[in-house]
């Protein structure tokens, strides 16, 4: 693998199967139907494998919906904050479930979706935030544009609705879901009888070692038993938790005062933008916190953006030009968010077979950069 051109993403089949086996068991024990959130992971070369464990996909727009329908199969669920009139007819050809963001959107598009035989839902906002430290991923922040609050809910539309949907979590444990469910049931529980399904959204870190799966199973069973609804979960990160790495190489080391800047051939701005947007500090193989190990470096990208900085890390031995640096847990919110700012080449995409080679799935070139510009 050291001879492969860097940077590249590599998804590990064995680790992916490990996560999928856990999700399949949760679905079996709870009765939930589990969907892949494509917004987090859309490497469709893996879809045949994932589809053998999960029930379908979720999408946030036309192209994701088409990708899910054509490459994955199963159920295709779509939510958008607002649908486009010029795309809606085509979207109906891919979607099985359509979730609307507001009563106005239900009134505008719901009848057409219903007439086309689609299952219709409304995303609600239980106004219960359990997140700390990354407001950019908090759908229940005050003034949120996502979901209908109780004050805006229109009971007269219930005859058109088949289900309700909420999404409030981000890489959280089941205690946060339980807190949210209390708020949801208090506000919207009275409207569930007579509906067919309830979608609990994503952000459930189900495959993390410390995740309390027994509580999740108990909560899903409670909803099914109490309201007679089918329960959906749509995790993204849980599907690919620690199932993918981003392999990079040291291009140069630039000292400045006490800081040793390591310029890599991968970029936070281009290849892992959540590092800057959330922000967060990605794990690096065989590295520690600053001061934990004897050699401390600031890992940075090759773009002209001064803030293209991944973070400060310590190592047991000095880094040198040509050394590889491996970023872990890099399958989620990376390939789906990469860009070619500064003309940076997109990382290759590879798949490490469980008992076989590390296959090259896709390699990118100048044409991938130029075709988007004119």
pLDDT in tens, 220-262: 999 999 999 999 999 999 999 999 999 999 999 999 999 999 9
In this prediction, residue 133 has a pLDDT band, given cuts at 50, 70 and 90, of low
Last residue of a domain, one of 233, 258, 275: 233
> Given this model, what pLDDT does residue 143 score?
86
Share of the chain above pLDDT 70, in %: 99
Q: Are residues 70 and 145 in the same domain?
A: yes
CATH number at 176 reads 3.20.20.10
Task: Write down the pLDDT at residue 139.
Answer: 84
Whether pLDDT at 214 is above 90: yes
Over range 30-35, report the average pLDDT.
Answer: 98
Q: What is the pLDDT of residue 172?
A: 79
Q: Which residue segment(s) compose the domain that 312 sits in?
A: 242-370
pLDDT at site 278:
86
Q: Examine the fold and report which residue of 216, 233, 250 is the final residue of a domain before the chain moves on.
A: 233
Read off the pLDDT band of 1 (50, 70, 90): low
Of 178, 204, 233, which residue sits at a domain end? 233
104 and 126, same domain (yes or no): yes
Tell me what the mean pLDDT of segment 80-95 comes to.
98
Q: Which residue has the tokens 């727009």?
A: 61
pLDDT at 321: 98
Would you state the structure tokens that stand for residue 275, as one six-digit string? 């590092």
Domain membership flag for residue 349: yes
Range 301-306 average pLDDT = 98
pLDDT of 240 reads 98
Contact indicator for 364, 344 with CB cutoff of 8 Å? no
pLDDT on residue 131: 72
Examine residue 4 and state whether it is found in any structural domain, yes or no. Answer: no
Mean pLDDT of 164-181: 87
79-89 CB burial, b ≥16 within 10 A, e <16: bbeebeeeebe
Q: Is residue 117 left, alpha or beta, with left meaning phi > 0 and alpha meaning psi from -120 to 50?
A: left
Quote the pLDDT of residue 311.
98
246 and 228 fall within a common domain: no
Give the pLDDT confidence score for residue 128 in this predicted structure. 78
Is residue 45 domain-shared with residue 177, that is, in the same domain? yes
pLDDT in tens, 259-279: 999 999 999 999 999 999 988
**Would you call 307 exposed, middle or buried from its count of C-beta atoms within 10 A (0-12, 13-18, 19+)?**
exposed
184 shares a domain with 57: yes
Domain co-membership, 41 together with 176? yes
**Predicted confidence (pLDDT) per residue in 317-374, tens digit:** 999 999 999 999 999 999 999 999 999 999 999 999 999 999 999 999 999 999 999 9
Spatial CA neighbour of 208 closest among 168, 169, 167: 169
Q: Give 233's strand partners.
A: 34
Is 298 found in the same domain as 328?
yes
Q: How would you label 29-45 residue by residue, b for 16+ Cβ within 10 Å and e otherwise?
A: ebebbbbbbbbbbbbbe
Q: Is the pLDDT of residue 2 over 80?
A: no
Read off φ and ψ for residue 328, nearest 5 degrees: -100, 165
Give the count of domains, the chain.
2
Query: In which element (H, E) is residue 275 found?
Result: helix 274-277
Tell me if 36 sits within 8 A of 16, measured CB to CB.
Answer: no
CATH number of domain containing 340: 2.40.37.10
Does residue 5 lie within any of the structural domains? Answer: no
Mean pLDDT of the chain, nearest integer: 95
> 137 with 252, same domain?
no
> Under 8 Å CB-to-CB from 298, ≥6 apart: which residues?
259, 260, 261, 262, 309, 311, 312
Q: Catalogue the E-assigned strands of 38-158.
A: 56-59, 75-79, 97-100, 119-123
Cα separation, 216 vs 172, in Å, equals 12
């Amino acid at each position: 693998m050291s001879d492969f051109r860097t940077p590249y993403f590599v998804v590990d089949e064995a680790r992916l199967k490990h996560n999928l086996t856990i999700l399949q068991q949760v679905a079996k024990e709870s009765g939930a139907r589990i969907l892949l959130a494509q917004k987090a992971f859309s490497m469709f070369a893996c879809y045949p494998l994932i589809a053998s464990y999960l029930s379908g996909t979720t999408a946030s727009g036309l192209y994701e919906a088409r990708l899910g329908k054509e490459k994955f199969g199963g159920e295709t669920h779509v939510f958008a904050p607002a649908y486009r009139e010029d795309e809606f007819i085509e979207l109906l050809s891919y979607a099985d479930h359509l979730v609307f963001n507001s009563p106005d959107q239900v009134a505008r598009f719901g009848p057409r979706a219903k007439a086309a035989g689609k299952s219709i839902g409304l995303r609600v906002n239980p106004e219960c935030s359990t997140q700390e430290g990354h407001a950019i991923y908090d759908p229940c922040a005050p003034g949120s544009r996502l979901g209908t609050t109780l004050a805006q809910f229109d009971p007269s539309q219930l005859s058109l609705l088949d289900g309700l949907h909420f999404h409030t979590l981000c890489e959280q444990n089941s205690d946060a879901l339980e807190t949210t469910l209390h708020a949801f049931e208090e506000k919207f529980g009275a409207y569930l009888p007579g509906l067919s399904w309830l979608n609990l959204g994503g952000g459930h870190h189900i495959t993390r070692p410390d995740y309390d799966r027994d509580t999740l199973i108990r909560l899903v069973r409670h909803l099914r038993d109490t309201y007679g609804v089918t329960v959906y979960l749509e995790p993204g990160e849980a599907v690919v938790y620690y199932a993918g790495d981003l392999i990079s190489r040291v291009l140069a080391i630039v000292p400045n005062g006490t800081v040793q800047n390591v310029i890599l051939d991968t970029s936070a701005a281009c290849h892992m933008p959540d590092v800057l947007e959330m922000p967060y500090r990605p794990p690096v193989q065989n590295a520690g916190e600053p001061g934990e190990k004897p050699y401390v470096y600031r890992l940075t990208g090759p773009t002209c953006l001064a803030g293209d900085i991944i973070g400060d890390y310590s190592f047991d031995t000095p880094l040198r030009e040509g050394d590889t640096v491996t970023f872990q847990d890099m399958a989620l919110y990376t390939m789906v968010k990469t860009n070619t700012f500064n003309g940076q080449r997109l990382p290759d995409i590879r798949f490490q077979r469980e008992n076989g080679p590390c296959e090259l799935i896709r390699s990118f070139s100048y044409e991938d950069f130029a075709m988007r510009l004119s």
